[in-house]
């Protein structure tokens, strides 16, 4: 059983935030309170008659599923070739490369829900694989030797992972080293008997993810000014794959040894 979601990685991004407001409650007198309702009506409470207003509560209950619900987008501080750059947590990703699929969120949230029964719940493994980086026009990032792989490498550092149904759970994600165009690496695993619940990990600290830019990266000539200055934005796709472990499966050694990116 495999469930796949994709997210995006970007070296430069912009920010946007919407905060919802709550309409105020108006008190006219000690014995009367009026509420501004969505339908424009007022509900008045007096000494003789109590006022009532109604709202709703809703929930979706699932059982028997292992679901990958949220995967993070990553936006990085502007970088030079041959350097490492940290997450730009002040910005939210706005990708201009519409050719890439994007299921990601801009809050750095990774979320998995386990609702299988004890006999079916044998644990799970989540991997991430980094694809090639491309410019906004779809042109692939290229090195001086003409190759397109290893132009970028992404390191996901270990962060706390919480089972919302068990606040005392002590889990962390794995350190994962990903090279553009390279192999997948395990990010989060749960053993059989870890229990049902919603698992969350947050990649919000600037050092929770690091992007290395190869010194041999060839920047786009179309973005170069007469003075030799250049600003080129790249976007890469991360493929996240959630796999349910089969009965009798054994834990494999951590396969997240660093892959070797281009210098």
Rounded to whole angstroms, the Cα distance separating 66 from 129 reads 20
217 by Cβ neighbours in 10 Å (0-12 / 13-18 / 19+) ranks as: buried
In 11-108, at which residue ranges do the beta strands (DSSP E only) sit? Answer: 26-29, 32-36, 42-44, 66-70, 74-75, 84-86
Say what the pLDDT of residue 259 is: 45
pLDDT mean over 203-229: 81
Residue 29 falls inside a structural domain: no
Residue 136 falls inside a structural domain: yes
Provide the number of structural domains found in the chain. 1
Say what the pLDDT of residue 30 is: 42
Q: What is the mean pLDDT of the chain?
A: 75
Say what the pLDDT of residue 169 is: 76
Residue 212 falls inside a structural domain: yes
Residue 135 falls inside a structural domain: yes
Residue 126 falls inside a structural domain: yes
Tens-digit pLDDT profile for residues 110-153: 999 988 877 777 889 999 999 999 888 888 888 888 887 788 99
Residue 78 falls inside a structural domain: yes
Residue 80 falls inside a structural domain: yes
Residue 256 falls inside a structural domain: no
Containing structural domain, residue 152: 2-15+65-221+230-244
For residue 207, pLDDT beyond 90: yes
């Amino acid at each position: 059983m495999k469930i796949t979601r994709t997210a995006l990685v970007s070296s430069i991004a912009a920010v946007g935030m919407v905060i919802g407001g709550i309409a105020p409650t108006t008190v006219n007198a000690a014995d009367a309170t009026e509420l501004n309702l969505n339908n424009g009506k007022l509900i008045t409470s007096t000494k003789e008659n109590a006022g009532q207003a109604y709202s709703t509560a809703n929930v979706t209950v699932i059982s028997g599923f292992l679901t990958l619900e949220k995967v993070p987008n990553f936006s990085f501080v502007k970088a030079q070739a041959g350097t490492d750059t940290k997450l730009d947590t002040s910005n939210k990703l706005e990708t201009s490369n519409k050719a890439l699929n994007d299921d990601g969120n801009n809050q750095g949230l990774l979320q998995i829900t386990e609702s299988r029964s004890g006999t079916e719940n044998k644990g799970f493994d989540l991997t991430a694989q980094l694809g090639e980086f491309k410019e906004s026009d779809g042109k692939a990032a290229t090195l001086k030797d003409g190759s397109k792989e290893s132009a970028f490498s992404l390191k996901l550092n270990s962060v706390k992972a919480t089972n919302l149904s068990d606040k005392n759970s002590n889990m962390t994600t794995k350190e994962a080293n990903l090279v553009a165009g390279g192999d997948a690496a395990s990010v989060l695993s749960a053993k059989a008997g870890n229990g049902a619940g919603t698992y969350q990990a947050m990649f919000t600290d600037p050092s929770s993810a690091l992007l290395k830019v190869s010194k041999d990266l060839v920047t786009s000539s179309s973005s170069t000014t007469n003075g030799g200055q250049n600003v080129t934005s790249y976007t890469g796709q991360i493929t996240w794959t959630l796999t349910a472990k089969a009965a009798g499966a054994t834990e494999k050694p951590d396969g997240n040894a660093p892959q070797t990116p281009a210098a």
